[in-house]
């Protein structure tokens, strides 16, 4: 609540989709007119139900925590690379 501003994006990560602190962060983000990018697994849990039409839900279709976290890590690297390209341009 202290740092998020309208128009910002919250990156919410929970393997099960049921982490109470992450769920509370999603509620706070929506109260502040922020969008949410949610990384989950195991069907998305409670987080899947909270997301609105402007939010993005990337759910790893697995019940294995290790597999879910591995895909989350790759996803985070891809997001960072995309952000770098947007701000710094593409390196040839």
pLDDT tens column, 18-64: 999 999 999 999 999 999 999 999 999 999 999 999 999 999 999 99
Looking at the structure of the chain, the number of domains it has is: 1
Residue 63, domain member (yes or no): yes
Residue 69, domain member (yes or no): yes
Whichever domain contains 62, its CATH number is 3.40.50.10490
Quote the CA–CA distance of 89 and 92 in Å, as a whole number. Answer: 9
Residue 4, domain member (yes or no): no
Q: Output the pTM of the full model.
A: 0.90
Residue 2, domain member (yes or no): no
Domain coverage including residue 76:
9-87
pLDDT tens column, 3-20: 999 999 999 999 999 999
Cβ distance 89 to 81 under 8 Å?
Answer: no
The one-character DSSP state at 58 is: E
In sequence order, the 6+-apart residues with CB closer than 8 A to the CB of 66 are none
């Amino acid at each position: 609540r202290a740092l998020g501003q309208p128009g910002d994006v919250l990156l919410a990560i929970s393997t099960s989709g049921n982490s109470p602190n992450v769920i509370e962060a999603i509620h706070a983000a929506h109260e502040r007119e922020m969008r949410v990018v949610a990384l989950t697994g195991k069907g998305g849990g409670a987080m899947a139900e909270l997301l609105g039409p402007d939010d993005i839900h990337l759910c790893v279709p697995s019940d294995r925590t290790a597999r879910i976290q591995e895909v989350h890590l790759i996803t985070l690297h891809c997001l960072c690379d995309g952000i770098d390209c947007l701000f710094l341009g593409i390196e040839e």
